[in-house]
Amino acid sequence: MNNRTERDRQATTRLALIAIPLLGSIVFALSSLFGKLLGNDTWQMLMQVASGFMGALGLLAGSVTLVFQMTRREINLRNVIVFGCLYMLAIFVFLGSCVALPEWNLGWMGPNGEVSQTPTLGPPTDVAIQVDMSPRPCDAPEIPISKKWKGILESANFTKCVMPFGVLIGADYRVPDSYITQAAMVVAEILDPDMDGIANDPRVWSFVREYEGAWLPMPADYEPWHGYLEEELGSKLGSYGLIIPKWWMVGEGEFSDSGPDEHARRVMVEEIIHFMTQFGYGRAYPHVFGVEDWDSVIAKETKRASCDWWQHPENDCPGSPGYLYGDCSEPSCDVAEFYQQVVTTRAGMEPAWRGIGFPETTEDLEAKLSDEMKAAMDEPKYNQISKPLTFSYSVNTPHPTYTPYPTYTPVSPMPTPVHLTETYRNEMSGFSVDYPVNWEVMEWTEESTTIVEFADPLGSFVRVEIEYLPNEALEDFVASRLSSEDNFRQDSRIKIESLPGYLSEGIGSDSQTPISILMTTNDPWAISAMFESARDLGELDQPIFQAMIESFQIFPPTTTKK
């Protein structure tokens, strides 16, 4: 009896040893779900790793114990059954948590990324929630995009974001809030034309809210965007950006203080319809609205109309060559452009532009469209635009306090702190600046200008120029300094009250690299510092340059006469 009791006690001890890791695996897997619900991606990942590790440890412990019992012919049937059940449960919970997380994310996430109170699995069929139209800083917690995206957008000066129904609109800091809000209202009205707070087509909505596949950037400067920024953002983000740019909305003019005019609205409508067709309706209903080949209903209609009553100005037709440089013959371009004009005109709105030969009235267009095309557009389940947009989507729209950016402060794409351990002081003109320990400092004179250069071993540099200009007003010095810099195109300028001085941000006309010029006066001296990165080192240098700018100080000069 004592031997039997001892064997039972040993068997129970072995069961506890092999059960603890499996129970731990289950607890960690469940904990990862709470991490996801709380929005803590790091916690979620750690819990998943811990769950997998504990499950593997439990399997190892169970296997060793089973082999040990078999060699001693002391297999305990209870232990085998309990271990098998626990192990299957641990696997089920672990895999279930891995599968459930993305599903819960799809079902719980509202149009603006917030978590609703009632979870559902799969695409929701009734999504009613507040739709926020107010632009916010892209790094605000109300903008539910990844930290990677926030850092990359900030580093490219896309500092304002809004997500109507979860569709990401990211704007350059110079784009006024009124233009961003108007674009958001167009997106919301197309997704929810009856303005009841519910996306009319959950299937389309589930596609267009995936910002990692496509988003709507609003750039403000043509040359940086087409020079390098478009390709750079596409490479880093891995997402297609369909632009609503300043140069299309206002041409060579400036944004209006009164908000977007009719032309700017037409541009917004055009680009957002392109976005909805290519990444929403085209993916949800490819046989009707697909633009990747010539097989869909709208693609076949484009083919029928081509060189008859439709011609994109970049494409050639017999006896009618295109008059714009480019090629829009692929369906992803030609079909998308054609269908946008069809939708807009048929709904009674004026398109931003018309293709060659395209009908100017709804009646003329209706007479040319095929019955198949009209039937597809009129099908209620496809929720196509059928009347002019109001441009005033307002259901459940909160109005939080938001202060537009009055100035721009360069933001480091990497939050790593920068330590500038060395300090340079120029007693003659009365300024000091901190710099990295491994940078070389050189000083020389060119004609009447003293030059101090801080050189990075990788090729970036800061060039300080000191000029003797007694009684020179700060604003006059800034104007003359910038006009003398032929290789600099200014994008923005802010005043730094602490110096006082001005900081101009822009880009090198030849190098196409970011350049900053800090300018101040310390009578009788005028001092400017140009910060320029070597090619492809902009992100690495930005936090260093920002720290150097913040360290720049002036004090009474020792020399007041030339």
The answer on pLDDT for 26 being more than 70 is yes
Percent of the chain topping pLDDT 90? 48
Least confident of 77-81, 203-207, 231-235: 77-81
Do 396 and 472 have their domain in common?
no
Do 12 and 77 have their domain in common?
yes
The amino acid at residue 76 is N
List pLDDT tens digits, range 322-354: 888 889 999 999 999 999 999 999 999 999 889
What DSSP character marks residue 457? T
Do 11 and 134 have their domain in common?
no
H-helix segments, 198-280? 202-208, 222-224, 230-237, 246-249, 262-276
Does residue 88 belong to any structural domain of this protein?
Answer: yes
- For 169-187, b/e burial (b = at least 16 CB within 10 A) is bbbbbbbbbbbbbbbbbbb
- For 327-342, b/e burial (b = at least 16 CB within 10 A) is ebeebbbbbbbbbbbb
Res 6: pLDDT: 63
Does residue 118 belong to any structural domain of this protein?
Answer: no
Neighbour-count burial of 142, counting CB atoms closer than 10 A to its CB (0-12 exposed, 13-18 middle, 19+ buried): middle
Do 103 and 153 have their domain in common?
no
Q: How far apart are CA 556 and CA 279, in angstroms?
A: 61
Least confident of 225-229, 336-340, 541-545: 541-545
The answer on pLDDT for 527 being more than 50 is yes
Q: Is 199 helix (H, G, I), strand (E, B) or coil?
A: coil
Do 81 and 197 have their domain in common?
no
Res 418: pLDDT: 65
Does residue 412 belong to any structural domain of this protein?
Answer: no
Do 37 and 143 have their domain in common?
no
List pLDDT tens digits, range 33-44: 766 555 455 677
Q: Of the candidates 50, 76, 108, which is a domain's last residue?
A: 108
Res 17: pLDDT: 73
pLDDT band at 5, cuts 50/70/90?
low
Q: Give the CATH number, domain containing residue 473.
A: 3.40.1000.10
Q: How far apart are CA 148 and CA 217, in angstroms?
A: 16
Res 543: pLDDT: 85
Res 8: pLDDT: 65
Does residue 478 belong to any structural domain of this protein?
Answer: yes
Do 433 and 485 have their domain in common?
yes
Higher-confidence residue of 214 and 101: namely 214
pLDDT band at 11, cuts 50/70/90?
low
Question: Do 162 and 235 form a contact (C-beta atoms < 8 A)?
Answer: no
Do 476 and 539 have their domain in common?
yes
Domain limits for position 76: 2-108
Q: What is the pTM of this model?
A: 0.52
Higher-confidence residue of 488 and 184: namely 184
Least confident of 134-143, 388-397, 427-436: 388-397
Q: Which helix (H) or strand (E) holds 42?
A: helix 41-71
Q: How far apart are CA 68 and CA 315, in angstroms?
A: 78
Does residue 180 belong to any structural domain of this protein?
Answer: yes
Do 263 and 398 have their domain in common?
yes
Do 277 and 296 have their domain in common?
no
Q: Please tell me which of 69-83, 122-136, 360-374 the model is most confident about, judged by mean pLDDT.
A: 360-374
The answer on pLDDT for 128 being more than 50 is no
Res 398: pLDDT: 43
Structural tokens at position 185: 């209202």
Does residue 116 belong to any structural domain of this protein?
Answer: no
Length of the chain: 562
Least confident of 264-273, 302-311, 412-421, 495-504: 412-421
List pLDDT tens digits, range 147-181: 999 999 999 999 999 999 999 999 999 999 999 99
Do 269 and 292 have their domain in common?
no
Does residue 113 belong to any structural domain of this protein?
Answer: no
The answer on pLDDT for 12 being more than 80 is no
- Give backbone dihedrals phi and psi of 74, rounded to 5 degrees, phi first: -130, 40
Q: Give the CATH number, domain containing residue 278.
A: 3.40.30
Does residue 439 belong to any structural domain of this protein?
Answer: yes
Number of domains in the chain: 4
Do 269 and 164 have their domain in common?
yes
- The contacts of residue 480 (CB under 8 Å, 6+ apart) are none
Closest among 167, 131, 149, 132 to 280, alpha carbons compared: 167
